[in-house]
Structure 1
């Protein structure tokens, strides 16, 4: 595609505020990405075409594309047009990862955030029970059984289970949020792996807590699903305190 190629407009090119032109351009392109006018992997129009369509300069169009790249909505390569990316929680995952690795306090806050968010997710998952999510949760449980005493494998199984929980809601934005929290799950799991006294019974108790969540969701019991995920986090908090007590410094 060249800058002279005629094409049908795929953007709403009316900018509301001329004082924030780059923001207006990036908002309009993002809207086209979110509502499916531009599919994942599809090329965006060249920079010059975007500039002409919005009636802005090339530097403004370039800044808008930089904003979208930083947000993880498009990817660019030198000398090539930008392409749309599939919606994912990758940008949030990086931010949460930086935060939870910065201090024990941030990690505890992130885990508290998960408790609040996932309680609501469990209720909606039990109400909707989207098949794709239920399948992922079941696979996560199976992978946990085959990953006993393997912290890395168990962590990935745990992440898959909770992603399945989000997918069971049928809500794409909830799925993205759960993807963003993967770095929190990984950091908590790494702390747990420091517990030299973790027994087979501990591992199996973790699996059973997840199974009880799955069973409640399969039964469509919203109250029970929320109760069981809160119980899961209560148990995880106790384990977290055991680990935290052994960490030197007690940083904030």
Structure 2
């Protein structure tokens, strides 16, 4: 991890260290699972004694912000994405309305995020977006659906970070977590629809270009148009999957099926 921690300028107390690490988690600089540097390196970066540092880390761990793994160092705890509890996450894919509401919510929130990003993105933000777009282009060329889908989530996370609104950042991350944990399995089917991969790439390019150009209205429209397309495509992918399932059953039935099929018929 690069030097993201700053020397403590004032009283050099554990509270000062706690406050800085809290801010880094809240601003999304430190993310779930990130490993902190070792004790000696952290003491050097903060310019505090190791006893002060230990007190700060213990306080953060007691509050559930950090976890220490035996022999594995200190990591940022799983504090993001708690908007959806595990039982709710299991319910969402079972109810069609919930999936529709999810995309409706994302369309509005991502429109706001892209608009703010176009207004607020720094040069460093744009450099990160550029790198993610390069990875997305590379995944598109290789035809790796899963890598392309993973980079898609990373891109939207980065746009949310560019918006520089803490509440927006964390609520959007909780939404993307539903994707990364496979709650919406049919999203990968979208990439298999004819022309979908090219269209999705073009939409991400449009969001990227509008944010880079500092055009809030264009960024908002591009983001919302993208989610509208995803919504239609997921519905089409679901219908296509149903058609394939029925066609397969017809083929088996009319081909005579297996002996068990005949006995049950």
Larger mean CA deviation between 201-210 and 237-246 belongs to: 237-246
Contact 1:155/1:185 (CA < 8 Å) preserved in 2? no
Aligned partner of 1:105 in structure 2 is 97
Q: 1:178 to 1:191 in 2, by over 3 A?
A: same
2:119 corresponds to which of 112, 123, 127 = 127
Which runs of no fewer than 5 residues in structure 1 stay unpaired? 1-7, 13-28, 51-63
RMSD: 4.1
Q: 1:215 to 1:188 in 2, by over 3 A?
A: farther
Give the deviation of 1:137 after TM superposition.
2.3
Contact 1:213/1:229 (CA < 8 Å) preserved in 2? yes
Aligned partner of 1:193 in structure 2 is 188
Aligned positions, number? 204
TM-superposition CA deviations, 1:37-96 (whole Å, max 9, x none): xx956765399x97xxxxxxxxxxxxx93xx33xxx121457xxx967379635457757
Contact 2:153/2:176 (CA < 8 Å) preserved in 1? yes
Residues in 1 aligned to 2:137 and 2:170: alpha-carbon distance in whole angstroms? 26
Residues in 1 aligned to 2:204 and 2:184: alpha-carbon distance in whole angstroms? 15
Aligned partner of 1:221 in structure 2 is 215
Q: 1:195 to 1:225 in 2, by over 3 A?
A: closer
Runs of 4+ in 1 over 6 A off after TM superposition: 29-32
Aligned partner of 1:34 in structure 2 is 22
Q: 1:33 to 1:139 in 2, by over 3 A?
A: closer
2:171 corresponds to which of 171, 177, 185 = 177
2:139 corresponds to which of 147, 157, 162 = 147
Aligned partner of 1:45 in structure 2 is 55
Contact 1:151/1:193 (CA < 8 Å) preserved in 2? yes
TM normalised by structure 2 equals 0.60
Q: 1:87 to 1:171 in 2, by over 3 A?
A: farther
Aligned partner of 1:58 in structure 2 is none
TM normalised by structure 1 equals 0.62
Q: 1:35 to 1:235 in 2, by over 3 A?
A: closer
Aligned partner of 1:162 in structure 2 is 156
Aligned partner of 2:33 in structure 1 is none
Aligned partner of 1:85 in structure 2 is 76
